[in-house]
Amino acid sequence: MSATPRWRPLHAFTGGAAGVLLVVAAWEAAAGHLNPLILPSPRAVLADVITLLSDHTNWFVIEATARRALAGFFGGAVVGLACGLLAGTNRAVDKLVDPLMTLLMAMPPIAWVVLALIWFGIGSSSAVFTVAVAVLPIVAVAARAGLLARDRSLDRMAETFGAGLAIRLFDIRLPQIVSHVAPAAIAALAIAMKVAVMIELLALADGLGAALARARVNLDSTRAFAWIAIVLALVLILDRGLLRPLHRRLEQWRDAGHAPPQPGAMA
């Protein structure tokens, strides 16, 4: 009978921030020996991040990228989830969709950028589309795998109670694919941000990617590093502030088996 794990601040620190601090320390050491144009110091980058964030117009830059990345992410995730559920439920659909997902996974995002610019022109639609097609196969493959690995005895239990389609989907099947889809969604969110910044850098006039492009043109490496730091922080905030708490909430029942039994919880 294992007790509830005790929170150990030292472990949390060593497990979380130590890695980042190690990289920053190495960065600081390297920056001392290199031209600031090649590698600015972390302190200079941090100061520039503060400068950028204190100008409210830059928040619109961040908002534009976040909006495109999230719109594409949720659009791609919803369609991917639907494709994965259909493929995991119906063998004929699975045969149809499986090779398409492989092709979509293999397609380089830069190729989608070119096609999106031809189809939708220069604008947010191209970015949202490119992000969505990058996210879609990742979520679809995970949803399909989750559905195929489900406990089918629960399907039969629901069938004996005459459960309708909505109950079988929302109460029986979706909860079983969370453990497969959530890690895929976390990876897909990072990819969504990367793709959004990439298309902004290549073709759009606003957003974090476009700001990065301007820093490159001005040979302002401190500014470029500052924007990169903001992109990474944005991914971290969305990941730790949105997806992981949602995942924990949806799967809180998994912790129950590891908790000490409640008083009187023996037959």
Partner 1 sequence: MSLQMSGIHAAYGLREVLAGIDLSIPAGSITAVIGRSGSGKSTLLQVAAGLLAPQAGEVACDGRLACVFQDARLLPWCRARDNAAFGLKCLGVARRERRERAAAMLTRLGLADAVDCWPAELSGGMRQRVALARAFLVAPRVLLLDEPFSALDPGLRLELLSMLRTELACNCAVLMVTHDVSEAATIADRIVVLDGQPASIVVEHDLGRPVRPRSLPEAHWIAARLFADQKVAAAFAIDSAPSNVVSLKVS
Binding site for partner 1 (CB under 8 A): 153-154, 156-164, 167, 171-172, 175, 250-251, 253, 256-257, 259, 261-267
Three-class secondary structure of residue 122 per DSSP: coil
d(CA 3, CA 8): 14
CB of 258 to partner 1, least distance (A): 8
* Angle, alpha carbons 231-192-101 (nearest 5°): 160
Taking the complex as a whole, the smallest distance from the CB of residue 165 to partner 1 amounts, in Å, to 11
Sign of CA dihedral 188, 190, 193, 194: negative
Tally Cβ neighbours within 10 Å of residue 34. Answer: 11
Q: Which two tokens stand for residue 96?
A: 């149809």
Question: Given 3-state DSSP classes, what are the helix, strand and coil percentages for the chain, each rounded to the nearest 5?
Answer: 80, 0, 20
Q: How many other CB atoms sit within 10 Å of the CB of residue 52?
A: 19
In the complex with partner 1, the residue whose CB is nearer, 1 or 38, is: 1
CB of 146 to partner 1, least distance (A): 13
**Min CB(188)–partner 1 separation in Å:** 23
- d(CA 167, CA 174) in angstroms, rounded, equals 10
Q: In the complex, what is the shortest distance from the CB of residue 259 to partner 1, in angstroms, rounded to a whole number?
A: 7
For residue 31, give the nearest of 233, 218, 225, 228 by alpha carbon. Answer: 225
* Least Cβ distance, residue 69 to partner 1 (angstroms): 29
- 7-to-1, 2, 12, 198 alpha-carbon distances in Å: 18, 15, 8, 40
